Amino acid sequence: MRALIVDDSRAMRRIVGRILEGVGFEVLEAGDGQEALGVLEGLDGPPELACVDWNMPVMDGFTFITEVRKRSEWRSITLMMVTTESEMDQIVRALAAGAHEYLIKPFTGEAMLEKLDLLGLLPTSTGV
Amino acid sequence: MTISSAPDEALVLAAIEQVWGSMLFASAEPWPTDRAADFGSGVQAQIELRGDWNGRLVLTCDSDVATQIAGAMLGLGPDEELPELDIHDAVGEVLNVVGGSVKGALVGTWALGLPGVSETSEAPGRDESFVVSWGDAPVYVQILPDAA
């Protein structure tokens, strides 16, 4: 399985990447939404998961998920917002735009794994 | 965390304690006011907060502290080194998450900017900041409203 991490912080990409690699994902990275669209364009098939920050330069995460949801060939990507935006209206906006899950920073590795389990993206997931 | 209409020291300190604990696996205590806080050259991270109150949160720390914060965030061993760019990035992301926690505890509609990080050779004065501990070292925190 492949995961695309979209975050302008290299440190955060590294932290999320380590968690995902630990459960068997091959990790791809992008520093903003525009770069992430370019990464997706260059792949032979969509990744199973994209973890997307909200506040980024060039193209923010909300615009990125909106763009992804316009493309039928990327419909299978599970989108998880991983962001400091914690207000309920922001969460609702992201879910309405096509995000499947929402993880608020700061988070623990366990919290991210719980979300992946809920999404059926762990090797032992029940896909609740 | 207390709900407030503008960021204040108690709210920002609570956010720092939360982030220190969950991201850096460390505790943040208020620095004793009668204790000297030495500072050499260092790193200053800033992030804008816009809403009913407009201004910046600023975090300033010694270069060694910045390196330790980055190492703790990334789970590095004592012999692992990070390039300066990654240290700045990590300190900026720590402030970004602190800012997000503060924003989430404020009443009303608020927007958080992107963090910026630069080198500095001067620590803020004790009268214009509050100080929290990183281990045995000080980290200066400022809540700076825009100039009128």
What's the pLDDT at A126? 53
Q: What is the count of structural domains for chain B?
A: 1
Query: Of the candidates A8, A11, A83, which has its C-beta nearest B90's C-beta?
Result: A11
What's the pLDDT at B69? 95
Residues of B in contact with A15 (CB under 8 A): 73-74
Tell me the three state secondary structure of residue B57: strand
Q: Look up tokens 């623990």; give the residue.
A: A108
Residues of B in contact with A18 (CB under 8 A): 75
B108 lies in a domain?
yes
B55 lies in a domain?
yes
B81 lies in a domain?
yes
What's the pLDDT at B36? 76
What's the pLDDT at B29? 85
Provide the residue range defining the domain that includes B13: 9-32+40-145
* Shortest Cα–Cα distance, B55 to chain A (Å): 18
When the pLDDT of each residue in chain A is averaged and rounded to a whole number, the result is 94
Other C-beta atoms within 10 Å of B34: how many?
A: 5
Phi, psi of A7 (to 5 degrees): -160, 140
Going along chain A from its start, the domains and CATH numbers come out as: 2-118 (3.40.50.2300)
Contact, B141 vs B77, CB < 8 A?
no
What is the ipTM score, two decimals? 0.88
Mean pLDDT of A106-114: 94
What is the Cα–Cα distance from B68 to B87, expressed in whole angstroms?
9
Mean pLDDT of A19-48: 97
Between chains, do B22 and A87 touch, taking CB under 8 Å as contact? no
CA of A58: which chain B residue's CA is closest?
B114
CA of A17: which chain B residue's CA is closest?
B74
B82 lies in a domain?
yes
B3 lies in a domain?
no
Mean pLDDT of A28-41: 98
Size of interface A-B (CB pairs under 8 A): 56
What's the pLDDT at A52? 98
**Cα A10-A15-A16 angle, rounded to 5 deg:** 100
Is B48 in CB contact (< 8 Å) with chain A?
Answer: no
Query: Of the candidates A11, A83, A107, which has its C-beta nearest B74's C-beta?
Result: A11
What's the pLDDT at B142? 96
A81 half-sphere exposure, CB direction, 13 A CA radius: 29
List per-block mean pLDDT (blocks of 10 residues) for chain B, which spans 148 residues. 76 94 88 79 96 95 95 89 95 97 91 96 88 91 90
Residues of B in contact with A86 (CB under 8 A): 100-101, 103-104
B77 lies in a domain?
yes
What's the pLDDT at B1? 55
Containing A20, the helix (H) or strand (E) segment is: helix A10-22
The CATH number of residue B45's host domain is 3.40.1550.10
B1 lies in a domain?
no
Which of A26, A73, A79, A71 minimizes the C-alpha distance to A54? A79
What's the pLDDT at B148? 67
Is B108 in CB contact (< 8 Å) with chain A?
Answer: no
Query: Of the candidates B18, B89, B97, which has its C-beta nearest A10's C-beta?
Result: B89
